[in-house]
Homo-oligomer: A and B are copies of this chain.
Amino acid sequence: MSERGDTAEPLLKGDDADEAIAAAAESRHDEDDRLKPEFVSAVLDAVEEGDAERARDLVSPLHPADIADLLELTPADRRGEVAAALGDLVGAEVLSELNDYVRDDLIGDLAPEQVAEFASELDTDDAVAMIEDMEEADQQAVLDALDPEDRAAIESALSYPEESAGRLMQRDLVAVPEHMTVGQVIDYLRDNGDLTRDFWEIYVVDAKHRPIGYCQLSWILTCPRAIAMADLMKREQTLIPVDMDQEEVALRFQKYALISAAVVDGGGRLVGMITVDDVVHIISEEAGEDILRLSGAGEGDINEPILMTVRARLIWLVVNLGTAMLAASVVGLFEGTIERFAMLAALMGIVSGMGGNAGTQTLAVVVRALATNQLTSSNTARMIGREFRIAATNGATLGTLIGIGSYIIYGRIDLSLVFGAAIVTNNLVAGLAGVLVPITLERNNVDPAVSSAVFVTMMTDSLGFFSFLGLATLFLR
């Protein structure tokens, strides 16, 4: 028990935390809380040698989230074998923590009855996540194998659009009428505690089951029994419409620092509850996916089948091939000038490259600001002005620097002036395109993270070449 206070290891087993297990525990995670490669190898070796018992001994102290990590870190072609050796250690909770592709792969081999058994152990939202991507026939077989109550709950969730609040919510919640007292609520909970164990707030509803307030459990526990719920509850409440998109749900949880929220149908009736632990991974995903979209990397899921990844990235590369050809055709207009001054071919890439970098900087900022609702129509004009000033300042600085530098190297004042002027021009193009393109796309309901980069690169490349080679054609003698 002496190791309990060990701060280097997050998951401390109480009952059996003797020195040996503590030492083993220490060798499981690295300082960043990831499973160590030695630990993963040890489990894989045990499975390979047919020693399932040793594999299970190693794995059994792990949290379900860590067992899921272990399966993800296992090579795809050995996952089935490892999962089989671990037996019931790979339970419903582990499946609900698994990456979608890895889970679909694993449960693809199971009988519908087994999947149904896992689903019945989970909250509705986790059960839905597990079966929503199955083929329709397989999904139907699982639903048929469920008991009627679970089946009704899951079918009802599946009736809402994908990625909506209706899919995220759980149906098990505590709702009480406002005339109840704190004491009556506690007695009610003691009598009905088997309904649900994980809740953080209870809802107060009117006769039509519409939420009229909520109450944190801590308020109930710190109040005398005689207090009426009507006096204790907070009436100002963030309600989630059942058809709201999960991204909006996540932003709302974040903005109002919610722990849980009531979900209501079109008639304002309480139909479910969403808790923050179901939203946290959406917040992280939504915030992280912009970088993947902006770079055209598709989903960017490292467990995605490789052909899907190839296809997603190739589409983006072919689209960008189009913009590169456009830029090349701009250069082609000036072949005569390039034949006369071959150094232009070397320098023109600096003009387009600097513009590309500046445009990407602006794009990244604007796409994030749009995604986090910080950039709205109220401050769009200010944002454009801000980016224009930044582009002008950086363009002037770089243009001067490059003008002077190229004069030192080539000793031609005409070339330096053309070069500097092209850099300033392309920085302004980059800054304005970087802010105007994503805002325009967003206004037209096109995801700016997906489509902006193509347009901005097209402009900084083509106009960078055009301004530099055009000015050179006019002024270089």
Separation of A259 and B213 alpha carbons in the complex (Å): 22
In contact, B397 and A320 (Cβ under 8 angstroms): no
A window 369-421: CB within 8 A of B: 369, 371-379, 382-383, 386, 389-390, 393-394, 397-398, 401-402
A window 21-37: CB within 8 A of B: 30, 32-37
Selected from B10, B33, B216, B402, the residue in CB contact (under 8 A) with A198 is B216
Is the C-beta of A338 less than 8 angstroms from some C-beta in chain B? yes
In contact, A461 and B353 (Cβ under 8 angstroms): yes
In contact, B297 and A365 (Cβ under 8 angstroms): yes
Separation of A379 and B34 alpha carbons in the complex (Å): 12
Separation of A325 and B410 alpha carbons in the complex (Å): 14
Contacts of A32 on B, CB cut-off 8 Å?
A: 248, 251, 373
Name the interface size band of chain A: 35 or more
Contacts of A73 on B, CB cut-off 8 Å?
A: 376, 378-379
A13's closest neighbor in chain B, by CB? B236
Selected from B320, B345, B363, B365, the residue in CB contact (under 8 A) with A354 is B320
Selected from B200, B238, B290, B390, the residue in CB contact (under 8 A) with A218 is B200
In contact, B5 and A291 (Cβ under 8 angstroms): no
Selected from B256, B362, B368, the residue in CB contact (under 8 A) with A288 is B368
Q: How far is the CB of A21 from chain B (nearest CB, A)?
A: 12
In contact, A221 and B210 (Cβ under 8 angstroms): no
Separation of A472 and B265 alpha carbons in the complex (Å): 67
Given A32-B251, A196-B218: 12 more A-B contacts, CB < 8 Å: A5-B267, A8-B241, A12-B236, A12-B237, A65-B255, A193-B222, A217-B217, A217-B221, A254-B281, A257-B280, A276-B276, A324-B353
